[in-house]
Amino acid sequence: MDKVLPGLAMLAIIAVAFVLLGIGWRNRLRRQSDVEQLPSVPAELSQPLATADGQYVATTTAGDWLDRIAVHGLGIRTNAELTVHPEGVLFERSGAGPVFIPADRLTGIRQDSGMAGKFVEKDGLLVVSWTLGGRELDTGFRTRRAADKPPVLAAFQELISAAPQADADSGK
């Protein structure tokens, strides 16, 4: 009997914690209900410029690595294959839908050490900056093999510098 009451108390605390986590996630979904639908994946994509296996970390509000975007499954961490195409970037996520970012919506690429609860060595994450409607977003990806990162980074930089929006933004 001496161990039953503390055990029940611990189970109650754990249950309350899970309920609070669920309420928080539901409120985040409600706050982010104005986020536009994701662009659909084109029926035909050109040959990839670069590809890498790894982990899709999350999508957050640009500049705020803790503000995870929950809608459209963008906040789900999962294994993924990243392919960079002339038309844009495709994250084929296991257990979640694909995320396609058209080339004209890409605004930058950088290396970072963490975002949304995932922290790795210095420059261990590729962080893709892009726009969805009026929102600026950052999407994190960690390559499984370090050797995959330089060609992916170079393909991103080439794609971003060639995007039509780069010229349009400079005229503002």
In this predicted model, what pLDDT tens digit does every residue of 17-50 receive, in sequence order? 998 888 877 776 677 767 778 888 888 888 999 9
Residue 82 has pLDDT above 90, yes or no: yes
Give the pLDDT of residue 88: 92
pTM: 0.76
Least confident residue range of 9-18, 80-89, 122-131: 122-131
Closest alpha carbon to 73 in 89, 91, 54: 91
* Mean of the per-residue pLDDT values of the chain: 84
In this predicted model, what pLDDT tens digit does every residue of 49-63 receive, in sequence order? 999 999 999 888 888
Q: How far apart are CA 161 and CA 171, in angstroms?
A: 15
